[in-house]
Structure 1
């Protein structure tokens, strides 16, 4: 099953960046795209077209212009992803693209499949019968985009790349070459930026200027922005400067790069010292897109208001692109140019300090969200090199989680950057601070990378507590992904580390992970012994919340072993434990209800079981916990089966199996086997007469 979209249909995706303001020319290309769409719709197959051409030639602008003009053909919305194929960092992996699209289309992050093939299958299911426009910008390879292509004939996909992506052509994609602008179109682009009067007064010089730019829109725009910011300058002056710059670069640059680099260098040298510093250090940003806070952090010690003003000025001269409210990025060519200028003008220590300030900004911002979502968890202190500014404010828990999710790619990139620089403590902190996101929104594959980096960082740092904590987390995600041997090794190593520093709480936490691993592996008896030992340890340590969690797990293990009355006795203590906490924990209070419902059903008290499990289902659905909802359905299915209502049992089991599948839950095999048995027996008995007699009813 692949249906994982929530009951509340999400808003239509409208992810396209704004249409280019001064778009010029391209009539032939636009007409070709229209013809391809008409042909595809007539043939009832999805259109896939690759716009290919050199960097800066205007592929993205062409795609956006056409997409905005034809968006009414796609009533189910538009999806957009920047694949970062040529931005100087690693291209975005297919799993990241699919994950982002599936979340946009309403798939609950907690129910996101882990495997790439499962994600691709779910994407095809979710987009079936929809009319979507998908824009995949700056692709590096066919393999990067192939799994993100919907199969519905009502869809169209536009891919931009400097490569021809002939692998997609073999799958039926159309290839459209994007050439530099004609001279006439390039002059019109210049005029739209600087005004018709200036161009009309110097037509020959305007022609020379766009020729020096090689017909590349990005070079024309940067040169035009320089003229627009100097209304008294003649076009001839910029032509002279650009001619001199081209001669300098001819000896230094590869063919085809001279026009762009000359335009960039000329504009860069026109910046003030402060503007130039801010621009070139944006090349250090760990992510492709960034907000005001990290953009300003590169000017260590600067007044945020001044940094904001400088950032606005860079937008005005087209050196930085504003892609949303307080969201910015550099064109990939400008990003590479900024990095080159940073290496040329800033010393090693200056670059390191600027990068550290950005990475620490992400830690500080994520830390605010972390403390709001998970206020009671243990943390290690961190001394910031400088106090970060322009940090986000959150109105509540959901807003904090949404921020973590929205900045997830940048936070992961910041952690990688910290590790690459040898800042082990900072790299560990960036792994640790993402715990609330990974707990509530899952992102299992990201979690595997994050936790492994956390272990490596802790070992490099030499902090045994940090190593034990991250090993425990790595063990849990390995267990979820079915890597049980690796999971057990992680939990045992975590216990060894914690014992070596006399951290009883750490030992207990790792032991709990090991006990859960045994329970999930179908070994309830050893798990029962471990949970009983843990309960005693938690009482001794005065760890009330941990005691409550252990009681839930112990009751679950006892039920799994068929010892339902013992389970009810254990679980009777749990509500009072959670009620006595300083910080309310409604999620685990609802989990107690699930465990009690399961035990009551096994003990034969179906009335209590049904009432308890129904309440659990309602509360966990309100809390947004797919795992809890699935377990509640599983318990209600067991009750219905015991009462002879096979049809109701099948309905509940189908709901549970669907969620367990997307969560890769250890409960899936048993639930799926029972569903198959019940479905078969129900089908065999259906002709015999009326169904649904409730043996548990009045």
Structure 2
């Protein structure tokens, strides 16, 4: 646990808490793993837990301690979220806390805190399933969603989200369940489990209506639009995203509106409406610029880069995607770096620069990307095209065979295109 998190847990002022922790280090009951961080030896932890559960204090004292820690994490994570996404209305809809949380000088120090506290924060959310803490635990996952999208803590994040969803369902808390299901939707999208993501998002929308909760009411249709993009259900996805835009506007959430506009741009690209796709992405970027956003601006430039690539405006597309890549890197989003390398590979291939396309595709494979195995298949397909263009047909065929195996296992429609790519290579 960190020195900043210990005072609310112990219900002590910071100086007294630090003195206590240091005295426990002196008696070898705690270890200081790093400056400002403390932990038990495994055996001491088990003994301390057994004492607490048996005779040290009644359960309500332990629950109050956990509740104070949860307040600290939620208040601070909400502050990080607000710093990363100024103007996003989510923070106005989070459960109130008694702890004010930490404040940060800049977004980089805020992200340092979020990622260094990830394991403790997610463990706290997963343990806070009591009825009086559950809504705050779910909201903590919302405020810390960067941990899921980065891929660094996706398994632990998913475990916590599933635990809170199941607890909310047990209590019959439609609001908590709807929000928990929306966090799980995001986890499934990141992993490329699109059918599961769609089922969670659809149920989240139903719960949002019954609970009159603007959070999943806005984000669930936005997520369903994204899922439809990946599954090729473009007309249906367009309707979901138009609904999301309307709901975001009703909530005065301009940042969410920009997200939905950029996603709608990708739908228009797939439908062949390239001019409107460029216009929609630019509208999203304009909103992000006005709000002073960094991470979300990367998403806008990513969407615009895709549209410009399809329009054949390749130098502009490469500029947008290169800027997006730098922003994703700056915001510690390696999975989004991966998909941006993939889009750069597509743009370079369209510009007849297969060597550069292959280099970006290989970077995309190394960094993985949003979409899991499905995304890996799309990258392998482009890498194969690049390798074939630079005179390496054997490596190209190996990439396409691997991509085809992925698509067939997933039942993805891209399998047919990959079979066609293999036919001329096999005939040669």
Instruction: Give yes or no for TM over 0.5.
Output: yes
The answer to whether the aligner puts 1:495 opposite 2:205 as a matched pair is yes
Deviation, 1:572, is 3.5
Contact 2:355 2:390 in 1 (8 A): yes
> Structure 1: how far apart are the matches of 2:325 and 2:3?
42
2-structure distance, mates of 1:505, 1:514: 14
Distance 1:635 1:421, change over 3 A: closer
1:380 matched residue in structure 2: 94
In the alignment, the residues of structure 2 paired with residue 520 and residue 601 of structure 1 have an alpha-carbon distance, to the nearest angstrom, of: 18
Over aligned residue pairs, what C-alpha RMSD do you find?
Answer: 3.4
Q: 1:650 to 1:338 in 2, by over 3 A?
A: closer
Per-residue deviation, 1:496 = 0.5
In structure 2, the residue matched to 1:670 is: 378
1:312 is displaced (CA, Å) by 3.7
Partners of 2:329 and 2:255 in 1: CA distance: 22
Structure 1 Cα separation of the partners of residues 127 and 250 of structure 2:
42
Give the alignment of 1:130-149 within 5 angstroms.
Answer: none
| Structure 1 residues 217-236: Cα deviation after superposition (integer angstroms, max 9, x where no partner) | xxxxxxxxxxxxxxxxxxxx
C-alpha displacement of 1:589:
2.5
Find 1:590's aligned residue among 298, 310, 327: 298
The residue number in structure 2 matching 1:646 is 354
Question: SS state of the match for residue 580, structure 1?
Answer: helix
- Paired residue for 1:316? 26
2:317 maps to which of 598, 603, 609: 609
2:187, 2:154 → 1: CA distance?
7
Q: Quick one: structure 1 residues 335 and 449, their matched pair in 2 at CA, closer, same or farther if it must change by over 3 Å?
A: closer
Tell me the residue number matched to 1:449.
159
Q: Give the equivalent residue in structure 2 for 1:555.
A: 265
- Checking the alignment, whether the CA contact within 8 Å between 2:126 and 2:160 is kept in structure 1 is no
Shift of 1:599: 1.9
Partners of 1:445 and 1:638 in 2: CA distance: 30
Partner Cα distance (1:541, 1:303) in 2: 39
Residue of structure 2 equivalent to 1:325: 35
2:38 counterpart SS class: strand
Question: d(CA) in 2 for partners of 1:446 and 1:623?
Answer: 20
- Higher deviation after alignment, 548-557 or 419-428: 419-428
- Structure 2 match to 1:527: 237
8 A contact 2:221–2:240 mirrored in 1 = yes
The match for 1:209 is: none
SS where residue 413 of structure 1 aligns?
A: helix
CA shift, 1:395, in A, is 3.6
Partner in structure 2 of residue 71 of structure 1 = none
Which runs of 5 or more structure 1 residues have no equivalent in the other structure? 1-289, 686-698
8 Å CA contact 2:298, 2:327 repeated in 1: yes
Shift of 1:461: 4.8
- 1:660 corresponds in structure 2 to 368
8 Å contact 2:192–2:371 — kept in the other structure?
no
- Max radius of gyration: which structure? 1
1:485 corresponds in structure 2 to 195
Distance in 1 separating the partners of 2:358 and 2:103:
46
The answer on whether the counterparts of 2:192 and 2:375 sit within 8 Å (CA) in structure 1 is: no
Tell me, in whole angstroms, the C-alpha distance in 2 between the residues paired with 1:336 and 1:369.
29
C-alpha change, 1:461 and 1:634, in structure 2 (3 Å) is same
> Residue 465 of structure 1 contacts residue 497 of structure 1 at CA under 8 Å; is this kept in 2?
yes
Displacement of 1:364? 0.8
How many Å separate the matches in 2 of 1:617 and 1:294?
34
- How many Å apart are 1:311 and its aligned residue? 4.0
Q: Mark the CA change 1:570 to 1:683 in structure 2 (over 3 Å): closer, same or farther.
A: same
Matches within 5 A, 1:110-125: none
Superposition pairs for residues 562-577 of structure 1, below 5 Å?
Answer: 562-577=272-287
Q: Which residue of 2 aligns with 1:357?
A: 65
Partner of 2:224: 514
- In structure 1, how many angstroms separate the alpha carbons of the residues matched to 2:388 and 2:155? 36
- The alignment partner of 2:95 has SS state of coil
Partner of 1:579: 289
* Structure 1 residues 40-76: Cα deviation after superposition (integer angstroms, max 9, x where no partner): xxxxxxxxxxxxxxxxxxxxxxxxxxxxxxxxxxxxx
Alpha-carbon deviation of 1:648? 2.8
Deviation at 1:393, TM superposition (A): 5.4
SS of equivalent to 1:683? coil
**1:270-349 → structure 2 map (5 Å cutoff):** 290-292=1-3, 300=11, 305-342=15-52, 345-348=55-58
Distance 2:294 2:211 in 1: 33
| C-alpha distance after superposition, 1:353-393 (max 9, x if no partner) | 14531452243145214313335324432455xx69xx755
Q: Distance in 1 between matches of 2:211 and 2:69?
A: 31
Cα 1:340–1:597 shift into 2, 3 Å? closer
Find the partner of 2:116 among 397, 402, 406. 406
Measured at CA, do residues 624 and 506 of structure 1 come closer, stay the same or move farther in structure 2, by a change above 3 Å? closer
Q: 1:677 to 1:462 in 2, by over 3 A?
A: same
The whole-number CA distance in structure 2 between the counterparts of 1:314 and 1:344 is 21
Query: For residues 347 and 438 of structure 1, do their structure 2 counterparts lie closer, same or farther at Cα, with a shift above 3 Å needed?
Result: same
1:434-485 Cα deviation digits (max 9, x unpaired):
3343344542211211111221233345442222122111112123323333
TM-score (norm 2): 0.77
Q: Structure 1: how far apart are the matches of 2:348 and 2:18?
A: 62
Match among 179, 182, 194 for residue 469 of structure 1: 179
Give the TM-score normalised by the residue count of structure 1.
0.49
Kept after mapping to 2: 8 A contact 1:538/1:547: yes
Query: How far, CA to CA, are the matches of 1:618 and 1:383 in structure 2?
Result: 35
Check the 8 A contact 2:178/2:205 in 1, yes or no: yes
Aligned residues: 388
Q: Distance in 1 between matches of 2:178 and 2:32?
A: 43
